[in-house]
Chains A and B, each alone.
Chain A
Amino acid sequence: MSDQLTQRATRFVSVLPHCRVLNMTVEYADGEKVILKLPYSEAIIGNPDNGIVAGGSLTTLMDTACGTAAFNCFEDGEVCPTLDLRMDYHRAAKPGENLIGEARVVKRANSLVFTQGEVRQESDNVVVATCTANFMRIGLRLGSK
């Protein structure tokens, strides 16, 4: 089952042009959790003095990871636009490190999907940022299930 959902998440992410630009890939997905990888590259450097990646690239990683988790938690898949998103940057990611973004659906409601996640360095699993993001379900009338 998770193989199918990983494939479905991969198809979902692979058609997003900006995620292709960043070479983002789906590592794992099931009905609750999604793991994405953002490889380090010079293009995402935010501070040219030290090679530390821009916070925005982590935000994009987590918007995609949380959005894919929201999509994948429905049997037929539902594209849910981001309502809001918060990032807390605990520490700078080490230059050269690939980044792993893991997102979980915390609560699936009638109109909303609540998600949380974190960004880790690939080599040592150190958490560099945490994220909370809420998504709207569209195409649903008020009061419908």
Chain B
Amino acid sequence: MTEAMRKILQHCRDNGDFDAVIDAVPYAGLLGIKLHAMDLQPTFILPANKDNIGNPMLPAIHGGVIAGCMETSAALHLLMTMESIALPKIIDFSIDYLRAGRLQDTFVSCQVWRQGSRVANVAINAWQTDPGEPIATARAHFLLVQE
């Protein structure tokens, strides 16, 4: 990890302000991912953005964008909630699409089911109006990288 990134991470952990670390990831900026709320666990938001459309007829968000947002949110979730790890590396990712992602704000939350010394298993949910009606559910494995 570069010294600049280490400083950003340290600042974020000291102040509980993770916007800077999200802003440091270009792909998160491309999609528009932001931290929505930080209660016990973080919730991320993907604001409605025409650049993220994959089906112009409905219109609906590109399935790849929904997946990319969920995967990036899971990596950020690990970074924010675990002590002393760098940005984890994705090993595998599996997504089930439940409903079309309409052109409106999308929310993402994660559940870390297991964090071993090398690998973390994360479940990820995405919803729009009602958390009880997710638009997609996913799971991922990440390789943890020590700082």
Chain A partners chain B: yes
Residue of A nearest to B8 (CB): A48
Kindly list chain A residues whose C-beta atoms are within 8 Å of the C-beta of B25: 45-48, 54
A residues less than 8 Å from B131 (CB atoms): none
Residue among B50, B52, B72, B97 having the largest count of chain A Cβ atoms under 10 Å = B97
Chain A contacts of B54 at CB under 8 A? 16-19, 63-64
Q: Which chain A residue has the least Cβ–Cβ distance from B67?
A: A59
B133 at the interface (CB under 8 A from A): no
Binds A, one of B37-45, B84-92, B113-121: B84-92
Of the stretches A26-34, A84-92, A110-118, the one at the interface is A84-92
- Interface of chain A: mostly helix, strand, loop or mixed: mixed
Whether a CB of chain A sits under 8 angstroms from the CB of B63 is yes
With known contacts A21-B51, A88-B92, A15–B67 Cβ distance under 8 A? no
Q: Do A83 and B97 touch across chains, with their CB atoms under 8 A apart?
A: yes
Q: Residue A119 at the B interface, CB < 8 A?
A: no
Known: A15-B56, A16-B54, A46-B27. A84 touches B67 (CB 8 A): no
Interface size on B, residues (CB 8 A): 40
B91 proximity list for chain A (CB < 8 A): 88-89
Give chain A interface residues in 62-119, CB to chain B under 8 Å. Answer: 62-64, 67, 79, 81-89, 92
Contact of A82 with B97 in the complex, beta carbons under 8 Å: yes
How far, in angstroms, from A57 to B65 measured CA to CA in the complex? Answer: 8
CB–CB B93/A86 < 8 A: yes
Q: Which residue of chain B is the closest to A48 with respect to CB atoms?
A: B24
Q: Which residues of A contact B65 (CB under 8 A)?
A: 18, 56, 60
Instruction: Please determine whether B63 and A63 come into contact, CB atoms closer than 8 angstroms.
Output: yes
Is A61 a contact of B51 with CB atoms below 8 Å? no
Q: Report Cα–Cα, A54/B69, bound state, in Å.
A: 10
B residues bordering A, Cβ < 8 Å? 1-2, 5, 24-27, 29-31, 50-57, 62-65, 67-69, 71-72, 75, 86-87, 89-97, 100
* Additional 10 contacts, C-beta under 8 A, given A56-B68, A56-B72, A59-B71: A16-B53, A17-B56, A18-B64, A49-B87, A54-B71, A54-B72, A60-B63, A63-B54, A84-B97, A86-B95
30 chain-A/chain-B pairs, Cβ below 8 angstroms: A17-B62, A18-B52, A18-B62, A18-B64, A19-B62, A21-B51, A43-B30, A44-B30, A46-B75, A48-B5, A48-B25, A48-B26, A55-B90, A56-B31, A56-B65, A56-B72, A59-B67, A59-B68, A59-B71, A60-B67, A60-B68, A63-B54, A63-B62, A63-B67, A64-B62, A84-B95, A84-B97, A87-B93, A89-B92, A89-B93
| Chain A residues close to B by CB (< 8 Å) | 15-19, 21, 42-49, 53-57, 59-64, 67, 79, 81-89, 92
